[in-house]
Structure 1
Amino acid sequence: MKQAKYMYRSEGQLRLYEFTSEGPRGSVKKIVEYTETNTVNVYNLAFGDYDQVTRSFNDLSITDNGDSSKVLATVASTIFAFVEKYPDAWITATGSTVVRTRLYRMGITNNLAEISEEFVIFGYNSQGQWEEFVVDKDYQAFLLTKKNNWLAI
């Protein structure tokens, strides 16, 4: 994505990424994690603030560091790295709250032209079905994969 983003680090399997948000609230370590689901080649994308005490991340925390666009662009950039290593992957994501899911939808909408160059994206609608992403429509979750995976079905 062409937006500003943070540099991130990852472990060798490219399933766990970390970066630091910088802003008025200070430096906040963020974690992005891709975990396998019960469906072959489908991975869940999760991210949040790293909690030093629990040594895990909190996807409900509100950093309010004034850099949400940069954070979302950084999370999106990890998708490109992840699918480079796992080209057959389908990635599912949903916000930990309705408000965050709406924020993700807006981020997808604002970058849809660029996303659509390499990926096909779906939304899980209120009727409980996956459909190709429609701008300004509310979804409960999102699913994306490289275009060549979708065309192969």
Structure 2
Amino acid sequence: MNLDSYPCFANETHSVYEFVSQGQRGAVKKIVEYAWTGLENVYNLGFGDYDEVSNEINDLVVTNNGDCLKVLATVAWTVREFMFWYPDKLIFATGSTGARTRLYRIGIVSNLNEIKEYFVIFGKGESDFWEEFETGKYYSSFLLGRKENKDEIWKQIENLDL
């Protein structure tokens, strides 16, 4: 995506990315982490403010730094980067709150044409079944993989319990 994003730094395995949000509340360290779910090839996208005290990601805090779009664009950049290093993996994502899940849906819809150039994205909603993402539908969680792997992904997600 060609959206303005923050410079981002990855660890050796390209599973953790860090960047600094700059806004009305100052500099806030953000972390994006791709953690194995225990299911074959499926990684969970975790994202939030870095808590210096607990040394953990706080995915419930509302930063209100005035740079939401730039932060989401940076997270999207990490998705592309992670999938570059791990093209056969799937990324599972859901918001830590209903409002965040809604924000992610809006971000996906706003950039769906660009996303579909490289990836296939699925949503899981009230039906409790994965389906290819469609605008105008409610989804509580999302699954993303490389476009060229679409047939294999369909086979894998038939019985995927996330």
TM-score by length of 2: 0.92
List alignment gaps of at least 5 residues for structure 2.
156-162
> In the alignment, which residue of structure 1 is the partner of 2:71?
71
**Correspondence list, 1:51-90, <5 A:** 51-90=51-90
State yes or no: 1:131 paired with 2:156: no
> Aligned partners of 1:136, 1:52: CA distance in 2, in Å?
39
* Residue 4 of structure 1: aligned partner: 4
State how far apart, in whole Å, the 1-side matches of 2:137 and 2:127 are.
13
Q: How far apart are the structure 2 equivalents of 1:27 and 1:126?
A: 38
Query: 1:22 matched to which residue of 2?
Result: 22
Q: Does the residue aligned with 1:72 lie in a helix, a strand or coil?
A: helix
How far apart are 1:148 and its partner, in Å? Answer: 1.0
Q: What is aligned with 2:158?
A: none
Matched, 1:32 2:43: no
Cα shift at 1:17:
0.4
Deviations 1:38-62 (A, max 9, x none): 2111100010000010011100000
- Tell me, what secondary structure is at the counterpart of 1:29? strand
1:9, 1:134 → 2: CA distance?
Answer: 32
SS in 2 for 1:12: coil
Inter-partner Cα distance in structure 1 for 2:84 and 2:8: 16
Q: What CA RMSD, in Å, does the superposition of the two structures yield over aligned residues?
A: 0.8
Cα distance in 1 for partners of 2:132, 2:57 equals 30
Question: Would you identify which runs of 4 or more consecutive aligned residues in structure 1 move more than 3 Å?
Answer: none
Residues in 2 aligned to 1:144 and 1:111: alpha-carbon distance in whole angstroms: 14
Please give the alpha-carbon distance, in whole angstroms, between the structure 2 residues aligned to 1:28 and 1:137. 33
1:136 is displaced (CA, Å) by 2.0
Match of 2:160 in 1: none
User: What is the TM-score when the length of structure 1 is the normalising length?
Assistant: 0.98
Cα shift readout 1:39-98 (whole Å, capped 9, x = no counterpart): 111100010000010011100000001111100000010011101111101100000000
Residue 151 (structure 1) shift:
3.3
What do the CA deviations read for 1:103-149 (whole angstroms, capped 9, x no partner)? 00000000000000000000001011111101121111000100111
Q: How many residues align?
A: 153
The answer to whether 1:121 aligns with 2:121 is yes
Q: SS of 1:44's equivalent?
A: strand
